[in-house]
Amino acid sequence: MFPSLQQKFDRYEELQRLLLDPAVTSDVDRLLDIQKEMGGLARVADAVRSFRELEGDIEAARMMVAEETDEDSRAYAQQELDELLEKRDRLQAELEDLATAGDSITRGSLIMEIRAGTGGDEAALFARDLYEMYTRYCESKSWKVEVLQFTPTELGGVREVVLSISGDGAFHELQFESGGHRVQRVPETETQGRIHTSAATVAVLPEATEVEVDIHPEDLQIDTMRAGGPGGQKVNKTESAVRITHLPTGIVVKIQDEKSQHKNRAKALKVLRSRILERQQQQAASERAETRRTLVGSGDRSQRIRTYNFPQNRVTDHRCGLTLHKLDRIIAGELSELIEGLLEFDRQERLRGDLGGG
């Protein structure tokens, strides 16, 4: 049994016991957080429980084979044992996949931040293309997408967009999208047909629960102001925009999309928790860096991870060396082949480095 899976199984059983605590069942927010965490751990718990039961069945079958004196009965018992051993091999492979996936397999929700980088208006248009690409992919997976912050430009681009994405396997599949995305193409505003290079950054943050990141009110500085940018009189008449500063870390989140200050505050806290959890995870990764080689999911936003070359209809992921000549379909949301290539590359890297503990 993999130690990381045993820890997850123990946590699942601990959560089951908490559901019997009246103090928990009377606290709706905590109850929802626990149920959400259990939902993420259920696949691991079911696999571990099945494996343990199977081990018991195999032991009993072995005893039956050893004790049988009748030749036909022994042959029947041996056949049953062989089938159980085959089933165990399949389950062992599933457990290996769960272990090499690390914590990502138990998370369903994430915060995605897309920002225009170098390249001016063209970078903002590319950021919009990335936003639409990910949105279409999420639609194909029936994942829920909620826009938390959307800052457009006058030419139809996006300076910044923050999304909440939730659904089975969402974080696991999108975890390696963090980093710098570079585009090579002829901009709409280019009159001489010259190819320009511009960039956008994507950050994928695991959505944190209140159980994982406990924010104390005294650690927050909350400022309200009138929202800026396009939106007309309704946006600018009231102080609906909210800026929250987490004093211990210096992390600042500003949300202004909603007309309601209360809704903007709730969204800002959601993003803040995820950014704090990301900071904690990066610190933990740095502490392990001496003994563990960085894998594809470094999450470094400054790292150039992918190039989108429109003239050649080509996408290249620089971490796993995968090149696909179907940019038109990928930008339309057909990301499966790219994502599966990254997940398999990460899996093989973890196995080679014996990093199955997640």
Tokens 């022994």 belong to residue: 74
Distances (CA, A) of 253 to 141, 183, 220, 250, 264: 29, 28, 11, 10, 10
**Tens digits of residue pLDDT in 258-308:** 788 888 888 888 888 888 888 877 765 554 443 333 344 444 456 789 999
Quick one: tokens of 302? 């400054």
Q: pLDDT exceeding 90 applies to what percent of the chain?
A: 37
Across 54-63, 215-224, 285-294, least confident range: 285-294
Tell whether the model's pLDDT for residue 140 goes beyond 80.
yes
pLDDT score recorded for residue 217: 86
Higher pLDDT, 190 or 274: 274
Asked whether the beta carbons of 254 and 242 are under 8 A apart, the reply is yes
In this model, does residue 233 exceed pLDDT 70?
A: no
Q: Is 150 in a helix, a strand, or coil?
A: strand
Residue type for position 3: P
Give the mean model confidence (pLDDT) for residues 99-126.
Answer: 81
Rounded average pLDDT over 137-157: 93
What pLDDT sits at residue 284? Answer: 58
Backbone angles phi, psi at 197, to 5 degrees: -115, 125
Tokens 């280019």 — which residue? Answer: 190
Q: Where are the domains of the chain?
A: 3-100, 104-199+295-352, 217-287
Per-residue pLDDT averaged across 314-326, rounded?
95
- CATH fold for the domain made of 104-199+295-352: Alpha-Beta Plaits (3.30.70)
Which CATH class for the 217-287 domain? alpha beta
Give pLDDT, residue 297: 45
pLDDT at 291: 34
| 250-262 mean pLDDT | 86
The pLDDT score that the predictor gives to residue 231 is 46
Give the per-residue pLDDT at 358. 41
Name the phi and psi angles at 112, rounded to 5.
-115, 130
User: Rounded mean pLDDT of 223-244?
Assistant: 68
Of residues 255, 241, 245, the one with CA closest to residue 219: 245
Locate all alpha helices (DSSP H) within 251-293, ordered by sequence.
261-288
Is the per-residue pLDDT at 331 higher than 60?
yes
Note the pLDDT tens digit of each residue in 79-100: 999 999 999 888 887 787 777 6
User: What integer pLDDT is reported at residue 107 of this predicted model?
Assistant: 66
Q: What share of the chain is helix, strand, coil (3-state, %, to 5)?
A: 50, 20, 30
**pLDDT at site 92:** 83
pLDDT at 75 over 50: yes
Burial (CB count <10 Å: 0-12, 13-18, 19+), residue 23: exposed
Q: Above 60 in pLDDT, residue 165?
A: yes
228 DSSP assignment = -
CATH of domain 3-100: 1.20.58
